[in-house]
Amino acid sequence: MALFVQKYGGTSVGTAECIEAVAEKVCGFRNKGHDVVVVVSAMSGETNRLIDLANSITEEPAPREMDVLVSTGEQVTIALLAMALQKRGCEARSYTGGQVSILTDSMHTKARIRKIDEQGMRDDLDAGRVIVVAGFQGVDENGNITTLGRGGSDTTAVALAAALKADECQIYTDVDGVYTTDPRVVDSARRLERITFEEMMEMASLGSKVLQIRAVEFAGKYNVPLRVLSSFQEGEGTLITLEENIAMEQPVVSGIAFNRDEAKVTISGVPDTPGSALRILKPVSDANIDVDMIVQNVGEDNRTAFTFTVHRNDFNRAKDVLQRVSDELGAREVSGDTKIAKVSIVGVGMRSHVGVATTMFEALSAEGINIQMISTSEIKISVVINEKYLELAVRALHSAFELEKPAVEETM
Amino acid sequence: MALFVQKYGGTSVGTAECIEAVAEKVCGFRNKGHDVVVVVSAMSGETNRLIDLANSITEEPAPREMDVLVSTGEQVTIALLAMALQKRGCEARSYTGGQVSILTDSMHTKARIRKIDEQGMRDDLDAGRVIVVAGFQGVDENGNITTLGRGGSDTTAVALAAALKADECQIYTDVDGVYTTDPRVVDSARRLERITFEEMMEMASLGSKVLQIRAVEFAGKYNVPLRVLSSFQEGEGTLITLEENIAMEQPVVSGIAFNRDEAKVTISGVPDTPGSALRILKPVSDANIDVDMIVQNVGEDNRTAFTFTVHRNDFNRAKDVLQRVSDELGAREVSGDTKIAKVSIVGVGMRSHVGVATTMFEALSAEGINIQMISTSEIKISVVINEKYLELAVRALHSAFELEKPAVEETM
């Protein structure tokens, strides 16, 4: 007898048939005696339909009103799922974010959860009811409807699991778990049985779009065991948990993430004086451009070069900003390249193993792939390479770190 | 400077363009210095779309969940209208029924309003904001979402007007007012400038589907001046008000209503003993069949006949029930007719004028129209006739009571 918080995303509840299938699954858990709190997203396509409606009225809708509008998407799903559960003789009750007391700050369209009053949910669970909660939404202290930002249903699920001290927060999605890398790129990519919160965060932010990074962060902070599973097929999925729960045999590298959404921008021939990094990056940040990797090389003539990566959508704006900065600083040149890709190896095992970087660089070199930038953290090494070598690089690294082989602990 | 509560129905907010037009109209009132509270319905078609969704899951959705589902329809409209107002520089804020504190009982899908806390609205109005409220919905004391039943947006508007002591509650619809009769039947039908609550209730219940009868009842009870106007064309519409506000020159008859949704059922040869009316009508009422007109004739042999009218959809069920009753009572026969129509003349002026019935029966007789049933109230006389004479009867009565001529007070 456990308490599960389960989250079903937009494609899992995209049609009446899908909702019936989710109800069937939830009833299965109830019939085994488990308590279940279900968090659902809007039916796929619904949120976009609502946003289009708003845009047909104004290009700059007030965030408060956007929240009133888009929060209806999840409200439709909770009612339909509750009906589908009741039809199966499974007692259920639906709640909007406000009704279940998900109190947030007042930052409309990107609110953060402040507090959850779990007493009402406990009463329902004690009465044997399944609770169906609208994901992605809450209310502020004045009763205004807020939303947590797109994909925030994962965060709702984790927050409810934390508040209720659930045994597991299960995120049902259209993939059956977290893989060592994208199976569309590497045939032998393998589903991981377990991964740590930290690794998952690195994987998620690098483009393995299985889970919202905020949800993983939240789960890690409150130590909520998080499981990613498929809505459409049976399986154990991938359990995301604290490092201490991961067996000693954890492999050095857990997975290979990659990203081709970035572009790089270089400003070279910058007079090498204190504060130049700030004078270059502050205008970029002021222009609301997110910078990912930053590399500085010392050059000749007391001059230096900065290279950093930004989202490709921001490439032209970043170049314009830098050109202005370059003129002010008396730098030599601003250049850039959009045809790049970032490849990262991720693993908590790296911490205690030397030579991981060497293996990585050797594997790339053996394939004749030139490394343009390098950035490292405790559990991750990222390189920027020419975009055309992306698949080759991922396959070479997957094989170099023997990710196709199951780790010892995973055979237990 | 007045305070208006305005209600716009589904066709008035059916598309983004319609919503823009409503915003334009509301801004016009604001620019003249008036305070405005707007109540809106779901965009036309939306409520049916949601009901279809529910029916695709189950034929018997729980009323609580239906309310969660269909209340999203109005919530979408309030957000879009608030956006359209803000775009025009008109400060506005949207509220769901729950947010604006429309407290109802817990009768899901047909809840009744218990209390409205108007303080929050006063604050918004004082701050110069237009308030946009979702019609048709509220919350019960446990925070469950309720709906007032279909068409309940009119009731929301009247209730808000009563709570705020508004100067006028304006119902914008697709007709430009209340007519002496249906203009599709009588060319010379004339828009009424004023009508009393009582007359309006008789007109509405008899098929002039301009306003929800509950809303009119509510407006009468709290003496909220109610005006019906067109969303799509300029005009004064029709003001519905207390009798004392109607000038002395009020014509005897205000309008002619009619209805072809009814059927009549007769049980004859009933032994004329005390309690027979009850023994006949109770089983009908127990079967949830609404009865409209009831007529009893004394016959021969100490036997009597009852005739009453029911909705045509209930005709067969009513006959079945009566056949059972007939067997029990030892009555002679059960018969019925669906090809009937009810025509009524309505007017508070009838109270003080004799001979109204005579004029009515003369006019019908002159056209050779046989009267099958008669029923009277203080401000209404209804007759049942053969359906095929309906248009002829309405035109004859409209002319007999000179309804095509403007009343004196209406020329002021």
**Cβ-defined contact of A75 to B75 (cutoff 8 Å):** yes
Q: Say if residue B248's pLDDT is above 60.
A: no
Measured between beta carbons, the chain A residues lying within 8 angstroms of B94 are 64-65, 68
Farthest CA pair distance, chain A: 79
Catalogue all structural domains in chain B, each as residue range(s) with its CATH number: 3-174 (3.40.1160.10), 246-412 (3.30.2130.10)
Neighbouring CB atoms inside 10 A of A378's CB total: 9
**Cβ-defined contact of A56 to B99 (cutoff 8 Å):** no
Return d(Cα B245, Cα A118) in angstroms, integer: 55
Return d(Cα B305, Cα B299) in angstroms, integer: 7
How high is the pLDDT of residue A391?
A: 95
B171: tokens are 């119902």
For residue range B125-157, list pLDDT tens digits in order: 999 999 999 999 999 999 999 999 766 899 999
From the list A61, A71, A83, the residue facing B57 with the nearest CB is A83
> What's the DSSP call for residue B406?
P
Which are the contacts of B71, defined by CB distance < 8 A and separation ≥ 6?
Answer: A75, B96, B97, B134, B136, B137, B145, B147
Q: Say if residue B40's pLDDT is above 70.
A: yes
How high is the pLDDT of residue A206?
A: 61
CA angle B23, B29, B30 (to 5 degrees): 85
% chain B with pLDDT above 90: 69
Beta strands B291-298 and B303-311, pairing class: antiparallel
**Cβ-defined contact of B82 to A72 (cutoff 8 Å):** no
A128: tokens are 């044997």
Whether this model's pTM surpasses 0.95: no
Q: Say if residue A388's pLDDT is above 90.
A: yes
% chain B with pLDDT above 70: 95
Q: Say if residue B252's pLDDT is above 90.
A: no
Return d(Cα A270, Cα A331) in angstroms, integer: 4
How high is the pLDDT of residue B349?
A: 81
Highest mean pLDDT among A112-126, A241-255, B297-311, B341-355: A112-126
CA dihedral of residues A23, A26, A28, A31 (deg, nearest 10): -110
% chain A with pLDDT above 90: 69
For residue range B163-177, list pLDDT tens digits in order: 999 999 999 988 889
User: Strand, helix or coil at B139?
Assistant: strand
For residue range A98-110, list pLDDT tens digits in order: 999 999 999 999 9
Return d(Cα A149, Cα A74) in angstroms, integer: 13
Measured between beta carbons, the chain A residues lying within 8 angstroms of B84 are 57-58
From the list A20, A57, A98, the residue facing B84 with the nearest CB is A57
Indicate left, alpha or beta for A151 from its phi (over 0: left) and psi (-120 to 50: alpha).
Answer: left
Number of CB pairs < 8 Å for A and B?
103
- Residue B411: pLDDT band by 50, 70, 90 thresholds? very low
Q: Give residue A212's identity as a one-letter amino acid code.
A: Q
DSSP secondary structure, B311-332, as one string: EGGGHHHHHHHHHHHHHHHT-S
Q: Say if residue B295's pLDDT is above 90.
A: no
- Residue B342: pLDDT band by 50, 70, 90 thresholds? very high
8 Å CB contact between A385 and A371:
yes
Measured between beta carbons, the chain A residues lying within 8 angstroms of B79 are 54, 65-66, 68-69
Measured between beta carbons, the chain A residues lying within 8 angstroms of B27 are none
**Which residue of chain B has the CA closest to A134?**
B68
Q: What are phi and psi of B162, to 5 degrees?
A: -65, -45
A242: tokens are 């604290």
Q: What are phi and psi of B335, to 5 degrees?
A: -135, 170
Q: Does A51 touch chain B (CB under 8 A)?
A: no
Measured between beta carbons, the chain A residues lying within 8 angstroms of B143 are 99
Beta strands B340-346 and B255-259, pairing class: antiparallel
> What's the DSSP call for residue A169?
E
Q: Does A87 touch chain B (CB under 8 A)?
A: yes
Measured between beta carbons, the chain A residues lying within 8 angstroms of B58 are 83-84, 86-87
Q: Does B68 touch chain A (CB under 8 A)?
A: yes
Return d(Cα B11, Cα A315) in angstroms, integer: 46
Q: Does B357 touch chain A (CB under 8 A)?
A: no
**Which residue of chain A has the CA closest to B49?**
A76
- Residue B353: pLDDT band by 50, 70, 90 thresholds? confident
Q: Does B317 touch chain A (CB under 8 A)?
A: no
8 Å CB contact between A88 and A27:
yes
Angstrom CA distances, B20 to A87, B27, B77, B87, stand at 41, 10, 11, 10
A residues 133-152 lying closer than 8 A (beta carbon) to B:
143-145
Residue that has been written with the tokens 């319905």 in this structure? B41
**Cβ-defined contact of A83 to B19 (cutoff 8 Å):** no
Give the residue from B335, B337, B330 showing the smallest Cα distance to B270.
B330
Q: Say if residue B249's pLDDT is above 80.
A: no
Q: Say if residue A411's pLDDT is above 70.
A: no
8 Å CB contact between B155 and B143:
no
For residue range B63-79, list pLDDT tens digits in order: 999 999 999 999 999 99
**Cβ-defined contact of A19 to B57 (cutoff 8 Å):** yes
Q: Say if residue B280's pLDDT is above 50.
A: yes
Return d(Cα A103, Cα A100) in angstroms, integer: 9
DSSP secondary structure, B186-242, as one string: -TT--B-SEEEHHHHHHHHHTT-TTS-HHHHHHHHHTT--EEEEESSS-S--EEEE-
| ipTM higher than threshold 0.85 | no
- Residue A412: pLDDT band by 50, 70, 90 thresholds? very low
For residue range A298-309, list pLDDT tens digits in order: 777 788 888 999
* Strand residues in A282-387 grouped as ranges (E): 291-298, 303-311, 333-337, 340-346, 373-377, 380-386
User: Strand, helix or coil at B156?
Assistant: helix
How high is the pLDDT of residue B209?
A: 66
For residue range A345-370, list pLDDT tens digits in order: 999 888 777 788 889 999 999 999 99
Q: Say if residue A230's pLDDT is above 60.
A: yes
Specify the higher pLDDT residue, B85 or A287. Answer: B85
Measured between beta carbons, the chain B residues lying within 8 angstroms of A75 are 68-69, 71-72, 75
Q: What are phi and psi of B381, to 5 degrees?
A: -125, 125
Beta strands B238-241 and B194-196, pairing class: parallel
From the list B57, B78, B87, the residue facing A20 with the nearest CB is B57
